[in-house]
Structure 1
Amino acid sequence: MKRIWNVALAFVLMFTLVACNTSTKEEANKETSDEVTIYLVRHGKTWFNTTGQVQGFADSPLTEKGIEQAKQVGVGLKDITFDAAYSSSLGRQRETAQHILDGNKNDIPAIIELDGFKEWNYGGFEGRDNEAMWRPILEQYNLQWDDNWTDYPKLVELLGDEGIADAIAASDPLKAAETYEQITKRGQEAMATLVANAQKDGHNNVLVVSSGGMIPTLMTLLVPDQYNGEDIGNCSVTILTYKDGTYTLQSVGDDSYLK
């Protein structure tokens, strides 16, 4: 009887040790998956980027250069195992994301479309020359329009993202352009969905393809003390990490993959 008791006690101890070890591993895995790295990429160069036309919710195809840019980023990120990938329903974003994923050497996820990652909606200015939208706003503040956007940084300094978005909405003859509140609401909702999915499914690396207006807006919302208005060029890569409710900016507007 004593021998049986000793064997039973040994089995209980062994089971306890295995259970503790398993629990420790599960906690370690959970801790690892709690940190999410988000690769925010602006879409490749498009036809409207080339012709100087306003491009928000309106779409235009990637140029040959834009396709090549996306493929170069795919090569640069080929070793990253992406657990999830997002774009909006805009073709230029979705196609850029697909080219990036096509260059990846790991299993690639299906692209999830979240329209919170769309570019700003410029309403009645969509498809028109940039000058038609920007000249009147610049001139309100005694600034000048030119094709080099010389005075645009001064406008940003004066108004910030919020003031610029609301100025566009106010001057839109169709009254269809988004206000800053509308833009930020959908951007925040998209990021909240991304994080919730990452925590639920244990995502460590996430690809997001968005646009040159929305990415700076997200930076301003998420890391206002870390983002200083750096330029977000076509197919540049901006990296954020998320952990315990806090975003950290790792790099911004990195275009080294294109050089």
Structure 2
Amino acid sequence: MNIYLLRHGETKENKEKKYYGKLDSRLNSIGINQAKKAGKYLKNIKFSKVYISERERCKETLKIAFENKGNEEFEIIKDARINELDFGEFEGKSYKEIKKSFPKECTQWEDDWKGFTPPKGESAVNFFNRVKSFMKDIEKLDEENILIVTHGGVIKMIYCYMLDRNLDLYWKFSTKNGRVSLIKYEYSNWFIDYIS
């Protein structure tokens, strides 16, 4: 099974290096062009299912990517498990702003990035567990090609899941806005075909 991972196009918050997950924002002009480029890349692949985050930036990316593809027949499934990390009260703030407004919490975050929960947010461990639950369901599918339109953090958590559930590997990967990567699941084994 081929699983294509598409990160949403760039937003204003991405450009400004703000932390945001639950905050709903739209693509900027760069993000719109990135979505169009991704659509050109994916245009000859026949998908049976498309899994998508609930966030507007992912919906917009999918719509733009496939707007000129014709009568595409695939099922679109929204899944909250592939929403970005909920940063709680850190949402919409830069690291500098977080450090200034939440100095104690920021230190705790730096000391234990996996276990720390931002005020009214979620921890990286909880984030990983919901992505893991999603991936366990993906393993049960019998499809040739599926597409997952999601967020950078989710894609990195997918890689962690694939590589022995090792959360420490999270910082070893980069995933750029509007880029497509390909992972495969064959004979009960995950592997990365390419990362872009």
Structure 1 gap ranges (5+): 1-35, 142-154, 255-259
How far apart in 2 are the matches of 1:243 and 1:106?
29
Post-superposition shift, 1:106? Answer: 6.7
Post-superposition shift, 1:222? Answer: 1.1
Q: Which residue of 2 aligns with 1:237?
A: 180
- Which of residues 43, 53, 64 is equivalent to 1:88? 53
Taking structure 2 as the reference length, what is the TM-score of the superposition? 0.84
Post-superposition shift, 1:61? Answer: 0.6
Taking structure 1 as the reference length, what is the TM-score of the superposition? 0.65
Question: Aligned with 1:40: secondary structure?
Answer: strand
Post-superposition shift, 1:227? Answer: 8.4
Question: Aligned with 1:234: secondary structure?
Answer: coil
Change (3 A) 1:228 1:125: closer
Question: Aligned with 1:247: secondary structure?
Answer: strand
How far apart in 2 are the matches of 1:42 and 1:133?
25
Structure 2 gap ranges (5+): none
Verify the 8 A CA contact 2:34 2:179 in the aligned structure 1: no
Structure number, greater radius of gyration: 1
Root mean square deviation of aligned Cα: 2.7
Q: Point out 4+ residue stretches in structure 1 off by more than 4 angstroms.
A: 134-137, 224-228
How far apart in 2 are the matches of 1:98 and 1:195?
26
How far apart in 2 are the matches of 1:133 and 1:235?
27
Post-superposition shift, 1:82? Answer: 0.9
Post-superposition shift, 1:219? Answer: 0.4
Question: Aligned with 1:41: secondary structure?
Answer: strand
Verify the 8 A CA contact 2:11 2:25 in the aligned structure 1: yes
Between the aligned residues of both structures, percent identity stands at 26
Residue type of the partner of 1:177?
Answer: G
Post-superposition shift, 1:99? Answer: 2.0
Greater helix proportion: 1
Question: Aligned with 2:152: secondary structure?
Answer: coil
Verify the 8 A CA contact 1:37 1:239 in the aligned structure 2: yes
Length, aligned pairs only: 190
